[in-house]
Structure 1
């Protein structure tokens, strides 16, 4: 493999905040960047050399993106496989379509993990309402149900068996209707101690680096905060990083892969989901590690030597959703960024999204500290001041 050196052009499927921050890292290293995204006002559009306005199913536009690029990568996994294959005729696409085809479909992803010997919680693939009924009973009555395709930040998901006074049949029927009667995965509810994630990078030449684990906290299925290091034992950290590295090797990954993992009360590590791209839980890596996730993504897809990911300092991030810009009645308000930035060690990261909406990720705060606990306290205090 020959490295793709600075001065070349990198293509990115997706111009959201992840694409924006990846593009900024690429530009800092001397690359040109082209992005394909359906939104002409996407966050990456303000920092790239060229924006192609097109959807994920537009194979002609995907080929045009690749024609001008030395390599193509992605910040969103919902790109049509045919579009990835169209691009691959003109430039390497990293990660590739074979891996994406498995990860895009949660039923395929779960089955692939199980088939390859990776630990997962009990689940059932459901393609009919009757199969969902059977799955809920077999899994003990409490389940999370996720659509096979699409869905993120709590979308395309439903809970069964948690609401007091609701009948199982009503919840099952409602969940099936909410998921539009499509294929889905029913996952048994687990007694969790922590939710963690591990980011792994792998280059075409086979070099692998695994970041320190991050601890994650979700509210309404959306990441609320994340902190590096995760505060888990050395033994559990080693196991989690080993799982992530082995998954990357099994896929012959070229790029980044975030492995979301459940740590149960019994000490089991169970793989939840995979994301073949930069990940919200690793925004803090820019300050926590020698090399952050966005620079590492560029190094990996360009087949450069991967950067050192050793921990430099504990770092926490807190997501800023559209609610920060809206009062209880939905009227716009100006967040008090000056007060948030008065907290020691805090930085502000905004994504240049023009319209705040409830649940929409508009930016994040990061904070460093002498310990993971101090970093988390600082970032939550800063968010509270907004």
Structure 2
């Protein structure tokens, strides 16, 4: 595919905040954006040229969407793989492709894939019944995190369990669906590497951020992450390997646990722009949203030089209802246009520049 000219149309599967911010970046580069997402008025649909309001398995709507777009991407990993395959069968260019999507949708398959390409994870066991949960706990030392294999996010679909707990209740709490038990990893910190891979195979990686969670939800990301250059270089190599092995085009994120001795263990991947990279537009020469649009449009990737030290904080639920004047001078506020502030729901984020890059 030749690089898209300004005025071309980029389609986005999904209509949440990531799609909204991608649409803004695309518009700044001169592209029009079509959104495909069920729902009357999702956040991304209100800033795009055209909204296709249809279910992801609606083949007639997918055909119309494909005909209206020059290239198609996605903003979250639970788009049905079959829908992407159908778009490709119609001749649509979909970037990233189905492989990244397929690998990331099943926690068990994802960890098996990571291990197969030489990226270590913590220990894990598949769980499909209470009996298997009991055996998994024994294998992992009597304690672990029980997670659904599919669709859990932001702390949903998971429970911490140990030997002696009411395992039937824990399994029922996650819906009695196929699951995975992950060993508890004695990590010192968690980081994520947000990387972009272009259609030509070239990659650029943002500086890793250190991530802090609350209740299973990312609350804060800080750059720089405070690790040695050797550890950072190793983290980037792992992300580069993942991008290459999946044939990924666009931005992806690899979350990593950092052990006391600097060992890196992968937690999970996301085949898309990522919450832990929301600071990049305010701190780097090219932010993650522009970088993703550049990649899927076939443009050269932009430089990712970080000019500022930053802290990004998610605004959850009613935190986003604070009046803009309540934020300190220099705070950069982004709200997602969601119309209902549910508890724990990501409603926006703020970025604070804490000094020039290189300053400690």
Same topology, TM > 0.5: yes
Tell me which interval the TM-score lies in, with the shorter structure as reference length.
over 0.9
Offset of residue 103 of structure 1: 1.2
Residue 324 of structure 1 corresponds to which residue in structure 2?
319
Whole-Å separation in 1 of the counterparts to 2:124 and 2:259: 16
Query: What is the match of residue 157 of structure 1?
Result: 158
Q: CA deviation at 1:276?
A: 0.5
Q: For residue 350 of structure 1, what is the aligned residue in structure 2?
A: 335
- The 4+ residue runs of structure 1 with deviation greater than 3 A are 371-375
Q: Secondary structure of 2:188's match?
A: strand
How many angstroms apart in 2 are the aligned matches of 1:177 and 1:320?
31
User: Where does the alignment leave 5 or more consecutive residues of structure 2 unmatched?
Assistant: none
Q: Which residue of 2 aligns with 1:50?
A: 50
Cα deviation per residue 1:106-135 (whole Å; 9 max; x = unaligned)? 111111111111111111112222111111
Matches of 2:262 and 2:203 in 1, distance apart? Answer: 26
Distance 2:312 2:332 in 1: 9
1:183 aligns with 2:178: yes
Q: Residue by residue, what CA displacement relative to the aligned partner does 1:193-234 show, whole Å, maximum 9, x if unpaired? A: 111000111112211111110111000000111112211111
Partner of 2:111: 110
Aligned residue among 364, 367, 370 for 2:352: 367
Name the SS of the counterpart of 2:355 in structure 1.
coil
1:168 match: 164
Which region of structure 1 is more displaced relative to structure 2, 289-298 or 142-151?
142-151
Cα deviation, 1:66-92, whole Å, max 9, x if unaligned, reads: 211110000011111111112222321
Q: Distance in 2 between matches of 1:362 and 1:63?
A: 32
Cα distance in structure 2, aligned partners of 1:254 and 1:25: 17
Which residue does 2:211 correspond to in 1?
Answer: 216
Q: Does the Cα contact within 8 Å between 2:310 and 2:355 map onto a contact in 1?
A: no
Normalising to structure 1: TM-score of the pair? 0.89
Quote the Cα distance in structure 2 between the aligned partners of 1:229 and 1:160: 34
Indicate whether 1:85 and 2:85 are aligned. yes
1:1-386 to 2 correspondences below 5 Å: 1-88=1-88, 89-161=90-162, 168-170=164-166, 172-324=167-319, 334-340=321-327, 343-370=328-355
> Size of the alignment, in residue pairs?
359
Separation of aligned partners in 2, 1:54 and 1:31: 23
CA contact (8 A) 1:313 1:369 kept: yes
Superposed CA deviations along residues 144-172 of structure 1, whole A, max 9, x for unmatched, are: 111111011111111113xxxxx6240x2
CA distance, structure 2, for counterparts of residue 312 and residue 174 of structure 1: 49
2:58 and 2:171 map into 1 onto residues whose CA distance is: 30
Q: Is the 8 A contact 2:106 2:150 kept in 1?
A: yes
- 1:384 matched residue in structure 2: none
Give the whole-Å Cα distance in 2 for the aligned partners of 1:202 and 1:257: 8
Alignment RMSD, CA only? 1.7
The CA deviation at 1:39 is 2.1
- Whether contact under 8 Å (1:139, 1:188) holds in the other structure is yes
For the Cα contact (< 8 Å) 2:197–2:204, is it kept in 1?
yes
TM-score, structure 2 as length reference: 0.96
Q: Is the 8 A contact 1:63 1:90 kept in 2?
A: no
Contact kept in structure 2, 1:105 and 1:148, CA below 8 Å: yes
SS in 1 for 2:303: coil
1:374 Cα offset (Å): 9.7
SS in 2 for 1:56: coil
